[in-house]
Amino acid sequence: MRIGFIGLGTMGSRMASRLLDSGYPLLVYNRTAAKLKPLIVEGALAASSVDEVSKEADVLFTSLSMPADAEEVYLGENGVLSKGHEELVCVDCTTVGVDTSRKIYAEAVKRRIFYLDAPVSGGPEGAEKGTLTVMVGGDREAFIRVEPVLRVIGENIQYLGESGSGSAAKLVNQYLVAVNLLAAAEAMVAAGKIGLNQKQLYELLRVSYGQSRMLERLMEQFVLPGNFEPGGAMKYLLKDLRLSNKLLSQSGMEPISGKVAQDAYEKAFLAGWGDKDMASIYCWLADKLAD
């Protein structure tokens, strides 16, 4: 089975590396050619275009930044669906809206190509260790075919049903990530302002009902070390939250806390924090309080 991989950013490069380490022949493509080099050193072959990967791979992974990128790669004139062969299985790990997943799926069906929306959760550390959660929507037949490959990158693999189901689950996850992170950052900024020792307070909270994975990530990886490089850049969480709020609205639910969170992340993004880790919402709140 020859695997193709398009999109070698923070997450994609780590997932591709795990596939290589597991012995899968890997053909890789990235718009920025420099990102190919580490994987070529590991043994991957470099493709010159999306076209080439689509023609040569049996299974094609994509890990892209934005919904527009996914539409371009799959639906563009020289994209995967126009150049890929019948029975190609596409595994899209990009976080996109349900409507985008279903749009690509519908076009893939016309060309007898399988398309799975399979966004992941677990961050760069999970991608590196192969412990990601993978949320899959699409044809069960295609899922069964690629499940052994998915087990290389993740330890919690869930098939959720029809096309769009994986994307919907990921957006619910991201809604909680964004809201929980904002609450944790607010609490810790306020604690410092009123004179509590943040490290001591965190040790107390982590064994209390106030504990959460986002609080743990915020404090242990960013606030206490004083480092806010990504990780997962805030601009991508903001993109996800916009999609999450849209999904909740489409369900008939008003995204109350999501709207508050989106407003905060929008303002932090405009203040210049977009390329830093999502945890830098803490920095924006601290700056705002200082003003």
Backbone angles phi, psi at 45, to 5 degrees: -100, 140
User: Which residue in 103, 170, 235, 239 is the catalytic one?
Assistant: 170
The CA–CA distances, whole Å, from 286 to 19, 106, 193, 235, 281 equal: 41, 46, 9, 19, 9
Active site residue 35: no
Query: Do residues 214 and 260 touch, judged by C-beta distance below 8 A?
Result: no
Count of residues in the chain: 291
Which tokens sit at 212? 């959460």
Other Cβ atoms less than 10 A from the Cβ of 252: the count is 6
Q: Name beta bridge partners: 28.
A: 5, 46
The CA distance from 224 to 221, in Å, is 7
- Dihedral, CA of residue 199, residue 10, residue 169 and residue 102, to nearest 10: 160
Angle, nearest 10°, between helix axes 256-268 and 165-193? Answer: 70
- Dihedral, CA of residue 66, residue 69, residue 74 and residue 79, to nearest 10: -170
Which residues belong to the active site?
Answer: 170
